Amino acid sequence: MHKIAVMKVSVIGASGYAGSEILRLLAHHPEFELVVASGESAAGRKIADHVPSLAGAYAGSVYATTEEALAADADLVFLALPHGHSQSLVPQLLARGARVVDLGADFRLSSSADYAQWYGHEHAAPDLLGTAVYGLVERHREQLVGARLIAAPGCYPTATAMALGPFADAGLMARDGVIVNALSGVSGAGRGSSDRLHFPRLHGNAEAYGLLHHRHTIEMQQELGAEILFTPHLIPVSRGMLVTAYARTTEELSTAGAMEILHAAYDDEPFVVVTSEPPSLKDALGSNLCFVSAQVDPRTGWLVAMSSLDNLTKGAAGQAVQAANVACGLPETMGLPLVAVAP
């Protein structure tokens, strides 16, 4: 049994899609008490006016400034900021004794050289890269216990690692020539507007982007120890993610054997559903679930591994809360939805 001790929580960057999703989840968390939520562009505005869906839990709450959030007495801080913005904040939060969960990419990579190559600038706190724990609970649960700095994985790397991880760990897939194709809802791009997200262009359309150099590629390679060619696609849905990954097998493997590998890895995991049929993009919407499946093509010898998740929940905010639960010694399912929304 865990000890009942409500923790004071702040969310910095709470006005974006991932930050708003954290607020939604915190509203149902029995041991995380929100003390301040900041949104720099929305500071002073009511949360319920900015995100009406949160009105039931935050009717009278107002977004604070980043400075106000940094000064708050919080035991646990979620950073839901654009990439590059957490590096200057994390050192002072850790020095103050807070536990930090960063939803951005600032502390996901262990190498400062890799960070500079893929993100285009030097890391401002390279000494902390080796101290951050990668927050994919199903693969790093033991390291997360008691962690002070957690780097919540990206949505694409989460879906990819969940699909391919068991085969990489078992040495059943080649580490080179891995191909990952993914479909994502537009909320993964954040609240900011762009030509690509303009309704007339997006509606009824599908578009590949970030070819050959998407920043999540290095994160996938680091997690799986594999060479990956990654192609993400933007599709006209608000949320959801579907990954299809291809890898050569290193020994004889059947579809039945591949499914046995997935069941052995995930049957005891509360948020992973192994399905015999390929998962669909909508299966996990609104939940912290990840659906996985696999088939092996006897004609070509290729392993086809698939996964689906909600890019804002298991792919971002839900995963961050799950990792925080583990770090704080709480049941990892606490405050997280196990049931998706349908239709």
Those residues with Cβ within 8 angstroms of residue 67's Cβ, 6 or more apart along the chain or in another chain: none
Query: What is the helix, strand, coil percentage profile of the chain, to 5?
Result: 35, 20, 45
Q: Which one of the listed residues 136, 155, 162, 247 is annotated catalytic?
A: 155
Cα(164)–Cα(145) distance, integer angstroms: 24
In the chain, the amino acid numbered 219 is E
Tell me the CA distances in angstroms from 324 to 102, 131, 173, 284, 328, one per residue in order. Answer: 10, 16, 31, 21, 6
Cα(289)–Cα(283) distance, integer angstroms: 9
Closest CA to 135 of 112, 111, 104, 114: 104
| 3-state SS, residue 137 | helix
Annotation marks residue 155 as catalytic: yes
Those residues with Cβ within 8 angstroms of residue 274's Cβ, 6 or more apart along the chain or in another chain: 259, 262, 263, 266, 267, 291, 292, 293
Work out the angle at residue 134's Cα, subtended by the Cα atoms of residues 289 and 161, and round it to the nearest 5 degrees.
50
Hey, which residues are catalytic here?
155
